[in-house]
Amino acid sequence: MGLATIDYAQSFSRFRPDILVLLGDRFERHATAFAALPFKIPLAHIHGGELTQGAIDDNFRHSMTKLSHLHFVATGEYSRRVIQMGEEPWRVMNCGALSLDNLRTISLLNPPEIEARYRLRLHREPLLITFHPVTLEFEETAVHFQELLGAVQHFDLPVVFTFPNSDTGGRVIFSMITDFVASHSSAAFVPNLGTQGYFSFMKLAAAMVGNSSSGLIEAPVFQLPVVNVGSRQEGRVKPANIIDVGCSTGEIIDGIKKALEPGFRAGLRDPVNPYGSGGASEKIVQRLKTVNLDQELLMKRFHDLPAQVSA
């Protein structure tokens, strides 16, 4: 983070953008925002106001909200939370989740195409496993993931693992996946599915298991049951496809059983996705094109909520 801040600051001293758009809650994006502050570069932040109480991302996300001048949030609840943090309402736009725009333009692969591209043999609809370290519990990464592996072995289904992210503990998960795949012929590990491949697997999968935000945001579009393991997504708005479970093998098994029940998936038809239905990019671009890049934008005022009368 320190090196990134220095490098971004040196870059901004040579090239100053009219406005800087920041996505998400990662530590490297926080370095970008922090470096831009002394240069009076307006910041537009996407996906503020969210909570992930099991991860340190909350700290970065809320900090970037206070550093930013425009806010493009994914739900009404997140919009209210950003305003609650003192941001003026005119700076906040609920545009839905940006990633859902991809579903309008990407053609999905059919099962034979998936098998050919990724060199897989899928005799049945697979379990899609996307599990990342829980940064506030990173010491427990190996224990939590071992419990998940114990659960998926309980089912006679192909298992497809995706790559964990680069947070502390990611290498532990990577090593455990590699060992598991080497000893289980029905399991496969695809380091990088890409957006088209990942969405194609979501459409194909019997269920998704793990702790990725994609289970909350994109999976509802595919009426995909998601077993959400542990605390990583604690605090986020949860659609109807989410089955929250703890980190023990027994709880995960019970969650997968529920996800595989035909009645549960049938109940997900025509779901209302709280993260919208796409079109966020057009709204963001239109706002960026029309906003006045002036002193009013740069000079932030704290928006106080109406005072509550105590009893």
Q: Residues 53, 231: contact at Cβ < 8 Å?
A: yes
pTM of the shown model: 0.83
On whether both 150 and 45 belong to a single domain, the answer is no
On whether both 7 and 50 belong to a single domain, the answer is yes
Domain that holds residue 189: 106-266
On whether both 19 and 148 belong to a single domain, the answer is no
Question: Is residue 305 included in any domain, yes or no?
Answer: no
Three-state SS for 72-108 is EECCHHHHHHHHHCCCCHHHEEECCCHHHHHHHCCCC
Q: Model confidence over 171-210: pLDDT tens digits?
A: 999 999 999 999 998 999 988 888 999 999 999 999 999 9
On whether both 63 and 189 belong to a single domain, the answer is no
> What's the confidence (pLDDT) of residue 122?
85
Question: Is residue 220 included in any domain, yes or no?
Answer: yes
C-alpha span between 165 and 232 (Å, rounded): 13
We report the CATH number of the domain holding residue 214 as: 3.40.50.2000
Question: Is residue 202 included in any domain, yes or no?
Answer: yes
On whether both 228 and 153 belong to a single domain, the answer is yes
On whether both 74 and 111 belong to a single domain, the answer is no
Question: Is residue 307 included in any domain, yes or no?
Answer: no
Question: Is residue 304 included in any domain, yes or no?
Answer: no
Question: Is residue 143 included in any domain, yes or no?
Answer: yes
Question: Is residue 90 included in any domain, yes or no?
Answer: yes
State residue 212 phi and psi, 5-degree precision: -90, 145
> Mean pLDDT over residues 279-284, rounded?
96
Residue type, 101: D
On whether both 222 and 129 belong to a single domain, the answer is yes
On whether both 51 and 6 belong to a single domain, the answer is yes
On whether both 153 and 19 belong to a single domain, the answer is no
pLDDT at 310 over 70: no
Lowest-pLDDT choice from 2-11, 130-139, 215-224, 240-249: 130-139
On whether both 31 and 178 belong to a single domain, the answer is no
On whether both 91 and 189 belong to a single domain, the answer is no
Question: Is residue 31 included in any domain, yes or no?
Answer: yes
Q: How many domains does the chain have?
A: 2
> What's the confidence (pLDDT) of residue 34?
94
